[in-house]
Structure 1
Amino acid sequence: MEQVDRQFEFHRLARSWPQHRWWRPLLTALLGVAFYLVLTILLLIVGVVLALTSSTDVGPYLDAAAAIDLADPVIFAFTLASLILMIPALALAALIVGPRPVGLLSSVAGRIRWRWLGVCAVAALSVFLVSLALSTGIGFLFPEESAAAPVQQDTTILLVLLALSLFAVPFQAAAEEYVFRGFLMQAIGSWLRHPAFAILLPVPLFVLGHGYDPLGQADVAVFAVVAGWLTWRTGGLEAAIAVHAVNNMTIFVLGAFGLVDVNSTDGSVSGLVVSVATMAVTTVVIVRIADRRGIARTRTAAPLPAVQHPPYPAPSVPAGMHAPFAHAGQGPVGVPPWAQGLPQSQGHAYDPSQYDAAHYAPAAGPTPAPPAVPPSARPVDAAPPAPFSGSPSGRSSVPPAASGSSSGSSSAAQRAPVAAPSPVPGRDSAAGRHPSGPAHPPGPGHPSGTAHPGGPGYPGPGSSAAG
């Protein structure tokens, strides 16, 4: 399973991209169609401008364009250019939406394997030449009554048609392969795992793009199935591009010499049989060469990079000095503090031979208790009494509520000094007990001017502050 070994065949290459989502192929298709329409309109504008600036009569060209006469060099060139524009349109869409790298549309190697493409082209050309020779021999032995005589072409037209057939047709074939065997196979393969779906489902679209009769469309369908299978079997578009290019080049070169009608849409049973046999032999030859050369069929997804943590810096110890001592109970004996807890894989393994282990041994005996903190010195006597804040002259320390009492105890209470306020409420800062407070204020149960009762911690009116 690809979740384990991360091996992706050609039709599953879109899933090898980490950012792949199920909707990306749909968006790539829509964007590619939009780019193709824009490029086609630009090509039409260029053609119209050239026709208007030319002194020749454009009437025949318009008639040829309406009939799509591929024997006309101008119409042939315009048709090839309009098909080749599918390559930049698809490339731009893939650059924006994916899959990336764009070379995944070419092969499992992420690029065109040019040497393998050349080998496939030579193999396909060899088989097609043999097939053409056999077909020509059979035609001489069993001539058809309806066979048309070769048409003599003008030399200039012949050279232009040959140049277009040899140098432009390969790009036209590659454009169709990138769309139908490259993008569509990978789009379907990203949703359906089995390669049969990716090979067979694009076939109807490819057949509809060729306006032939049923026999001719059957021939095209056979070619589409073989090209799709070769793409999956060899892990790239090189074999399909080579076979497609050689097939089209053969037809258009023969058409340039007038040996075949390039505008014919009629098929034949004999032509279908010859085509099927030629494709079968070509497939066998290419597959055997691919197996012999060890052509890659799958792509191995690159694993995620491991997170690399920086190593811990080891402090340098000058010669003749020891590392800091370890305190008792901290780490193993003989290991300095900077080496404790460091992983061995980081290159900081502790070497006890470099240090004196006796320096790092914990102290013998029980751990000494911390020294007792001596009590702080405190004043013995309380601060002198302060005058009552309500007396403006400072002569009387009796509160206003206690003044005016005629009893002896009240007089004694009035003459009793009032202790200074303690920093801690309710405590005497010197004796650590409740100070002798002022007389009770008048109220229920407390006659006016009565002093606090004597008792432990509550000295009477005549007691000293120290008790």
Structure 2
Amino acid sequence: MTITHPAVPAPAPQIVEPATYDQLARVTGRHDWWRPIVGTFVLLGLSIVAEMWVFGQFESMAASLDLPKDADGFRILSDLSDTALTLAGIALGIPALALTVWWIQRRTLGSVTSVTGRLRLSWLGRCFALAVLALGLSMVAMGVVGALIEPETTSEETWVGWGTFAVTLVTLLCLVPLQAAAEEFIFRGWLLQATGSFLRNPILIVIPQALLFGAAHGWGTVWGFIDLVVFGVVVGLVTIRTGGLEAAIALHVTNNLTSFIMSSTYVGGLGTDETAADMPWQYVAVDMAVIVLFAVLILQLAKRYKPAVNASARIS
């Protein structure tokens, strides 16, 4: 006697589609419409707590050294200490983000880093090489522009001395890369992917984080704000097109590190309140041109080395 069994339907195939960097929050970890919104507030709260913790540590150290207080009751720190305090507070945005993506979305920080789930070191090195080239061109161009718009300016800057400069340089080399990377992880990383959870058009996706990036640097000149927004839009699009944060991190780190080191060479340089938001339009024109040039060069380099730009992920 032949025993027959009812046909068992084949399991439904998993739905798999290539996901670009901006869509990774949809396809990694847990995705619900509310998670990017709640996660943004959680990230903001954790970042504030982290900065308060750093500030508290500095205040305790200053109190143990019996440093004088200002009119508001806070300890008076040196320009280097104050700069280190700010940089360290921003740098802690990285562990705050790592906790947020795990807690709210059950995914790893790697999914914010690139479509491969990690920092692609060889690609990062190539991006740094182009960033240094772009920055060199920028410095030459800004020097020419500066000579044209301020021909009579005489410098009264005083060299800080080799001992002070050496200590400052080591401090900046340790903290500035972390600070700049943290800003990229938050703006071109979390915020870009959070917007990508609701939108599909890359142009629309990069605009919110670019506006917030400009606002986060303070309100200076209109041109300075436009420059920061352009930076956010361009590197946001480059991040999507190259599948990760490496190019954005390279440009941001190179730019910030150079600016801080140049400011640290003269007395009072680190104490200035001026930021990129305060640039006049002549410098902004140069800076925006260099940002666009960097993007063009990076995209050409990507055609040659072909970094991964998509991640195959199961859609639930």
Which category of TM-score, normalised to the shorter sequence, fits these structures?
0.7 to 0.9
Q: For the pair shown, which has the larger CA radius of gyration, 1 or 2? A: 1
RMSD over aligned CA atoms reads: 2.6
Of residues 278, 289, 293 in structure 2, which corresponds to 1:277?
A: 289
Q: Distance in 1 between matches of 2:74 and 2:162?
A: 23
In structure 1, C-alpha distance between the alignment counterparts of 2:127 and 2:46, rounded to whole Å: 31
Residue aligned with 1:191, SS: coil
Task: Provide the rounded CA distance (Å) in 2 between the counterparts of 1:18 and 1:240.
Answer: 24
Relative distance call for 1:147 and 1:82 in structure 2 (3 A) is farther
Task: Establish whether residue 108 from structure 1 lines up as the match of residue 120 from structure 2.
Answer: no
| AA at the equivalent of 1:113 | R
Task: Measure the CA separation in 1 of the matches of 2:147 and 2:160.
Answer: 23
Displacement, 1:74? 0.6
Query: Could you tell me which residue of structure 2 aligns to residue 28 of structure 1?
Result: 39
Q: Is the 8 A contact 1:36 1:85 kept in 2?
A: yes
Deviation at 1:141, TM superposition (A): 6.8
**Is residue 127–residue 247 contact of structure 2 (8 Å, CA) maintained in 1?**
yes
Report deviation, 1:159. Answer: 2.0
Question: Aligned equivalents of 1:202 and 1:192: distance in 2?
Answer: 13
Rate the CA distance shift 1:225–1:170 in 2: closer, same or farther, 3 A. same
Contact 2:68 2:75 in 1 (8 A): no
Tell me the distance in 2 between the aligned counterparts of 1:7 and 1:114. Answer: 23
- 1-structure distance, mates of 2:115, 2:243: 6
Question: Is this contact kept in 1: 2:67–2:76, CA < 8 A?
Answer: no
3-state DSSP of counterpart to 1:299: strand
- Code of the residue aligned with 1:38 in structure 2: it is V
2:273 corresponds in structure 1 to 263
Q: CA deviation at 1:50?
A: 0.6
Q: How far 1:199 sits from its partner (Å)?
A: 0.6
Of 240, 245, 251, the residue aligned with 1:243 is: 251
Write out per-residue CA displacement over residues 226-257 of structure 1, whole angstroms, 9 at most, x where no aligned residue: 11111111110110011111111111111112
Q: Which whole-Å CA distance do the structure 1 matches of 2:312 and 2:266 have between them?
A: 49
Decide whether the 8 Å contact of 1:120 with 1:286 is kept in 2: yes
Deviations 1:319-378 (A, max 9, x none): xxxxxxxxxxxxxxxxxxxxxxxxxxxxxxxxxxxxxxxxxxxxxxxxxxxxxxxxxxxx
User: CA shift at 1:146, angstroms?
Assistant: 4.1
Correspondence for 1:232? 240
Q: Give the distance between the partners of 1:19 and 1:141, measured in 2 at CA.
A: 55
Q: Residue 145 of structure 1 aligns to a residue in which SS?
A: coil
Instruction: Tell me, yes or no, if the aligned pair for 2:67 and 2:75 is still in contact at 8 Å.
Output: no
Indicate how the Cα distance of structure 1 residues 142 and 185 shifts in structure 2: closer, same or farther if over 3 A, else same: closer
One-letter code aligned to 1:290: A
SS at match of 2:197: helix
How far off is 1:43 after superposition? Answer: 1.7
Report how far residue 83 of structure 1 moved.
0.6
CA contact (8 A) 1:104 1:111 kept: yes
Q: Deviations over 1:50-72 (max 9, x none)?
A: 1111144455995867xxxxx81
Contact 1:73 1:157 in 2 (8 A): no
Return the letter of the residue paired with 2:274: S
Q: Which of 100, 116, 119 matches 1:93?
A: 100
> Aligned in 2, Cα 1:63/1:57: closer, same or farther, shift over 3 Å?
closer
Give the direction of change, closer, same or farther, for the CA distance of 1:99–1:151 in structure 2 (3 Å limit).
farther
Could you tell me whether the CA contact under 8 Å between 1:234 and 1:287 is conserved in 2? yes
Q: Higher helix proportion, which one?
A: 2
The letter for the 1-side match of 2:95 is P
The corresponding residue for 2:61 is 50
After TM superposition, the structure 1 = structure 2 runs for residues 311-390 of structure 1, keeping only pairs within 5 Å, are none
2:136 to 124, 129, 135: 129
Question: Against the structure 1 CA distance between its residues 148 and 210, is the aligned structure 2 distance closer, same or farther, given a 3 Å change threshold?
Answer: farther
Task: Say yes or no: does 1:186 pair with 2:185.
Answer: no
Q: Is the 8 A contact 1:14 1:99 kept in 2?
A: no
Alignment partners' CA distance in 2, 1:215 and 1:91: 34
Where relative contact order (Cα < 8 A, 6+ residues apart) is larger, the structure is 2
Task: Return the offset for 1:84.
Answer: 0.7
CA–CA separation in structure 2 for the residues paired with 1:100 and 1:29: 15
Unaligned runs of 5+ in 1: 66-70, 305-467
Instruction: Give identity over the alignment, percent.
Output: 33
CA contact (8 A) 2:224 2:281 kept: no
Count matched residues.
297
| Alignment partners' CA distance in 1, 2:234 and 2:51 | 30
Residue 288 of structure 1 aligns to a residue whose secondary structure is helix
Q: Deviations over 1:364-422 (max 9, x none)?
A: xxxxxxxxxxxxxxxxxxxxxxxxxxxxxxxxxxxxxxxxxxxxxxxxxxxxxxxxxxx
